[in-house]
Structure 1
């Protein structure tokens, strides 16, 4: 007699990791030094610069829900690089304060000013172990340049009214968002003058920037309009997240360049689609039904911390499953908000509420866009996997 044994394991696909260093609060990551006054604006010794290395992980197999993993980071380090010198930042360095636990793990405060001739690069390193799936170790590495400019001549300062990181809740927040840019030179707002131009970009999945011009680009699904300094988008067309970058050019004489000035720092905003925790239940079905009942008609109840979700069918789908008495698993028997469900005595009823996802263009099996009789793209909500 012969026998053979072999271990069979799951072949997990690697986690998809992403992130960046975000500026937290209103203190910018660039200073202005006025030599005649020997003053820094802002002065990091009085109002520290706060940076947060946001570390995200996505399970491509959707086996576990992960998201932000800062609290689980290991072997975390911050380095300070000045020129060719690279130094590990430890707790003994009073110029920095690092958060080493909790959901804000990795957050760093910089409490020293930067020389105009020696900019500082802060480099972040951390590891994340995929302990629930593959045991694989993933590495996060980000860097941020902190510099000081000479304030003897006013330095144009570009800003937008959307924060560096913005979570939008499609269940409650308005769909359209305007991103308004402003350029300040010294104490003067030059936004509405002929001295400046603004340039908006969309960051693609491969990290490259695609300029947004007129809404006719290949990726302009969420585009609504663009004026000189105002970009309007429809967030219903945003998938998991999207990053916009704004740049500018400026000329005191009134002839700004048709391309961004490299000496004007760009600003960005990352908009993330986030539906918070919801509470689900149903009504219309008592725990004990009358003898002879063959069909039940439950109605879902979906709430968040504010109350009942308005018009939930627009964004959420209901899946109804039953398990007969003695059965080992549930079976899908209906979908929607007015189900007709066959009843058997002793059965279990289960309701699952699913995000229908953002809008996406429909394509044929060979990858061509589907259009209607007016030659407009046909769109439908697509669940994010």
Structure 2
């Protein structure tokens, strides 16, 4: 056979050019707008005490793909922040007034630790490059943010609560009840008890919606011990695995107080998470060499955490005893409880496991109608969420 002709072509991937996308985001709850009161020469918020944190989220977008944009902050080059005041631009470096994150996924994040001005507000200008290593395409990112300061005849109120953003609650050692107290400050003046202030408390539902806690007698208020104006008391054993609470407050110097908060009114949030640390379990009351004629053994289980042996562990944990007979290929359950009676088999292996019984949960009808069961006095019945009933 005679070859008459041939053709050769080199095949390569044709990468589509990427598009730059940038947005400067406010990190944490400190806003990028300040209020200045000439009455007491105060800023709210005062960035010298609670810095403003901004993050320039840089992404490389393939416009023809539906997948999420790829964040490229960690690979930025020529990254710079500038401060512009009254038309004068100055390169920013980390120091007393600013702190810039130089590496990692948060590269470019800046903490602002100086206050702006009504007449000459601070403009922060960001610039950086990103090189697409596939094509050597250089994407340039530029964005800016003006820190506006508004004059106020009276200091703007600031709401705080005495519960951190996130609370890890260890039910075995920590107290069940938590009191969350809100405080509203106008400059250096505490206006919490002022008649011109209203407070509202909410729980965050799984959908993200807010459900108001009015008097502790609502359909979902099982964990609420009491709610009184700026103080919420909860029993954390009834919050499930976690629960977030939001407090809102409104202050009106003149006029009527609103029946519900406006969007510009102050709010504060705390998230309470049920937390079980690393635990150890062991047992005693059993010797390796049992006397002849032994038919049953009576082990005694116990649990330890970093503070020592836990008293009354069956309140929180289920003790499961697993045994393996000689010749068997796997373990099977041979007992349950802290002090079980277990049938003895010569040569057997015994293992203790503990399981978290979980938080308190309402007992509902078997038909999943979500109608909870009560006693003769109308008090709801509870059991732990993962507790087995036999």
TM-score (norm. length: structure 2): 0.68
Structure-1 residue corresponding to 2:100: 96
Residues 151-166 of structure 1 aligned to structure 2 (within 5 Å): 152=152, 153-166=154-167
Aligned partner of 2:58 in structure 1 is: none
C-alpha change, 1:369 and 1:247, in structure 2 (3 Å) is: same
* SS, match of residue 271 in structure 2: strand
Q: Decide which of 377, 382, 385 is 2:380's aligned counterpart.
A: 377
CA distance in 1, matches of 2:216, 2:262: 24
Alignment partners' CA distance in 2, 1:282 and 1:322: 14
User: Larger Cα Rg: Structure 1 or Structure 2?
Assistant: 2
For residues 298 and 164 of structure 1, what CA distance do their matches in structure 2 show?
A: 43
Which sections of structure 1, spanning at least 5 residues, go unmatched?
A: 1-20, 53-74, 80-87, 121-144
Q: Give 1:96 shift.
A: 3.0
> Are 1:150 and 2:150 counterparts?
yes
State the alpha-carbon separation in 2 of the partners of residues 310 and 107 from structure 1: 50
Aligned-pair distance for 1:283? 0.8
1:252 CA drift (Å): 1.8
- For residue 244 of structure 1, what is the aligned residue in structure 2? 245
Whether the 8 Å CA contact 2:302–2:313 is kept in 1: the answer is no
Measure the CA separation in 1 of the matches of 2:182 and 2:199.
8
1:85 equivalent in structure 2 = none
Q: Cα gap change, 1:42/1:155 in structure 2, threshold over 3 Å: closer, same or farther?
A: closer
1:288: how far off? 2.3
The offset of 1:231, in angstroms, is 0.6
Deviation of residue 28 (structure 1)? 3.9
- Look up the SS of the partner of 1:236 in the other structure: helix
Q: Say whether the 8 Å CA contact 1:50–1:107 is kept in structure 2.
A: no
Q: CA offsets, 1:23-45, max 9 Å, x none? A: 4xxx9445635387998666657
**2:211 maps to 1:210:** yes
Q: Distance in 1 between matches of 2:260 and 2:306?
A: 46
Correspondence for 1:34: 36
Deviations 1:112-167 (A, max 9, x none): 668688999xxxxxxxxxxxxxxxxxxxxxxxx99765253311101100011111
Report SS of the residue matched to 2:273: strand
How many residue pairs end up in the alignment? 306
Q: How many Å separate the matches in 2 of 1:334 and 1:175?
A: 30
8 Å contact 2:48–2:115 — kept in the other structure?
A: no
Give the 3 Å change call, closer, same or farther, for CA 40–285 of structure 1 in structure 2: same
Distance 1:258 1:41, change over 3 A: closer
Provide the C-alpha distance between the structure 1 equivalents of 2:168 and 2:232, rounded to a whole number of angstroms. 18
Matched residue of 2:301: which SS?
Answer: strand
> 2: CA distance between counterparts of 1:246 and 1:225?
14
Q: Give the 3 Å change call, closer, same or farther, for CA 347–92 of structure 1 in structure 2.
A: farther
Q: Indicate yes or no: 2:346 matched with 1:345.
A: yes
Map of 1:271-310 to 2, 5 A cutoff? 271-310=272-311
TM norm structure 1: 0.69
Instruction: Give 1:72's aligned residue.
Output: none
In the alignment, the residues of structure 1 paired with residue 294 and residue 146 of structure 2 have an alpha-carbon distance, to the nearest angstrom, of 71
CA contact (8 A) 1:22 1:165 kept: no
Secondary structure of 1:313's counterpart equals helix
Matched, 1:324 2:328: no
Q: Is the 8 A contact 2:298 2:339 kept in 1?
A: yes
Residue 357 of structure 2 contacts residue 386 of structure 2 at CA under 8 Å; is this kept in 1? yes
Q: Secondary structure at the match of 1:154?
A: coil
Runs of 4 or more above 6 Å deviation: 35-39, 114-120
How has the CA–CA distance of structure 1 residues 212 and 38 changed in structure 2, closer, same or farther, with 3 Å as cutoff? closer
